[in-house]
Structure 1
């Protein structure tokens, strides 16, 4: 074989290998065009939601609601008289109380069973396990959400299953991230940017969109100015705007929607031109802050070290904790109608841990 023919064959092999690599890359880069576009605003202003059929099918499969526990005949006595140390749901009928406890076991610890919260060999009234003490507070939190945050959850409400989905620890929680050792640099603080994180949609935006906005003493989220140039009415800079976009990306991914689900594309800042979902979202942000400050963060002393985050804080909720890819958790199906006792009392000081 001549030297020239060998060279031709060599370069053909190189070209074929490059084409194969490029083909594999393209196959995993682009989604098939099986999408559906839903127009939600006036034509010409890009008020559309684009859904990929496979993603929609996956969300539907992961948001199935379990069958409700069968109804029971009333026992005729409240649970606090039938059982000891019932600090929540004490006024509920004793048989209905057991029905709710059975459902909670299915929602939170189907593999571990009752012993996830009740120590084996101990009386059911024992508070030995931290999981029981935490579960009691989570019951109070559920009641609080359903009774006091109707502007966000409406009549649909939430149950333990909304977040847990059969897992003792919800899939989507967050902890305060460790301090970035490379934050202060010679050229300035990078504000956590260029460190792609799932929470920020793997973008170059700040990797922690939660601590500044969803915890105590939150920063102002709105950073879009109404003026062409910076002025005293909007002192926020580009860095703050990028932190806001990091949170918005999280919200978009959590609900499986794009920006125009809550904003009018022609005037993102204008509430008068925004869809109703923006108001619902506004309440949702404040609800998460309330839960963090008054329910989740104070539970830190109850948890063992291995259940705390890298900075020693307890797990906290964000939009994905409940929504899990659906703009309405569990696709809008209400489980509360089957467990009305979780709607809870509207009065009282549940935030203090009392009935």
Structure 2
């Protein structure tokens, strides 16, 4: 049977459309070989799949810096040396030598770049170190309070590893993975007028997923209800709506990507909702979600009037943390290297 030119043209166009539709999926495919680690009992599908080539890239990105050499105390507390140290509101109980070591480390962690606005000058007026005229000094003071709070009040998540400024900043003034309220793209007209907060690929929630692009505003806050699986049978079930379920799934997708793990790193695939049959990592993750929401509310939101407009989101709110801010693609930030152990002064509770 001889096909007409129009039929061949239609078939060719159809093949092109199929290929174009498959490109987003193809970009997510990973070639073998892959590494597989069994995490749970045999037969429940709890395995961690890792691309060894991606693992090499992540290892380079998550290399911990060499801590500054320890120093011997001078025997003088900062708060008792008012001639040389003025307006020190958070770290006054440190020995002066310990204080100077920490300040030098913070410079490396946050503002190592060259230029006039680098090093000490990133936060301080070097002609008057006590001045609060540069907003970054006010921000840094609040961030030190936040770091001390995380290390002392949220051990259920950070445990003995803890965090320092470098955990998030990685040598950059602004951490690579932060978020703000996402207003979404400009609305179209007609049938496409309402996206319902989804169907917009983005970096915060993995691209190519028809999921809400801003699950953080409603779920990364104190008291948010993330659980959507019903605890009773239908009708009259107690589960979440389709919209809330999609937001929860978007947050879980973010966590999976941010930590570089599968769903079964925390959940038992036999019964996802069961805490008793989940891995201990699920409890740690629960505390992490709680920590992120409380830290954003207590420490980040309190800086709304301090940050300039160019350091805020499009809706005027400050940039905030999520799982990827610290983890950056690995299940333990910096592969578990304890930066806080090298700087115990950052684990002392705030007064």
Q: TM-score, normalised by structure 2?
A: 0.87
Partner of residue 106, structure 1 = 108
Matches within 5 A, 1:295-310: 295-310=299-314
Query: 1:212, CA displacement in angstroms?
Result: 0.9
1:251 to 251, 255, 270: 255
Partner of residue 157, structure 2 = 152
Partner of residue 212, structure 2 = 206
1:170 to 156, 167, 175: 175
Q: Call closer, same or farther: CA 1:159–1:197 in 2, change over 3 Å.
A: same
- Judge conservation of contact 1:199–1:209 (CA < 8 Å) in 2: no
Query: 1:292, CA displacement in angstroms?
Result: 0.8
2:121 is the alignment partner of 1:115: yes
Q: Distance in 2 between matches of 1:246 and 1:57?
A: 27
Partner of residue 271, structure 1 = 275
Q: Distance in 1 between matches of 2:244 and 2:190?
A: 19
- Cα deviations by residue, 1:180-226 (Å, 9 ceiling, x for unpaired): 6539977995421211222221111011111110135x531111124
- Cα deviations by residue, 1:277-325 (Å, 9 ceiling, x for unpaired): 0000110000001101100011010011111110000110000000000
Q: Call closer, same or farther: CA 1:229–1:292 in 2, change over 3 Å.
A: same
1:38 counterpart SS class: strand
- Judge conservation of contact 2:147–2:165 (CA < 8 Å) in 1: yes
Partner of residue 321, structure 1 = 325
Greater shift in the superposed pair: 175-184 or 244-253:
175-184
Query: 1:237, CA displacement in angstroms?
Result: 1.7
Partner of residue 132, structure 1 = 137
1:151 counterpart SS class: helix
2:267 counterpart SS class: coil
1:220 counterpart SS class: coil
Partner of residue 50, structure 1 = 49
RMSD: 2.5
Partner of residue 335, structure 2 = 331
Partner of residue 93, structure 1 = 95
1:215 to 205, 213, 221: 221
Q: Distance in 2 between matches of 1:230 and 1:49?
A: 36
2:261 is the alignment partner of 1:262: no
Q: Distance in 2 between matches of 1:174 and 1:183?
A: 24
2:304 counterpart SS class: helix
Q: Distance in 2 between matches of 1:205 and 1:284?
A: 22
- Judge conservation of contact 1:183–1:192 (CA < 8 Å) in 2: no
- Judge conservation of contact 1:254–1:319 (CA < 8 Å) in 2: yes
Greater shift in the superposed pair: 182-191 or 133-142:
182-191
- Judge conservation of contact 1:39–1:49 (CA < 8 Å) in 2: yes
- Cα deviations by residue, 1:319-348 (Å, 9 ceiling, x for unpaired): 000000010001001011211100112xxx
2:291 is the alignment partner of 1:291: no
Q: Distance in 1 between matches of 2:62 and 2:77?
A: 34
Greater shift in the superposed pair: 81-90 or 106-115:
81-90
Q: Call closer, same or farther: CA 1:185–1:320 in 2, change over 3 Å.
A: farther
Q: Call closer, same or farther: CA 1:187–1:231 in 2, change over 3 Å.
A: farther
Q: Call closer, same or farther: CA 1:144–1:28 in 2, change over 3 Å.
A: closer
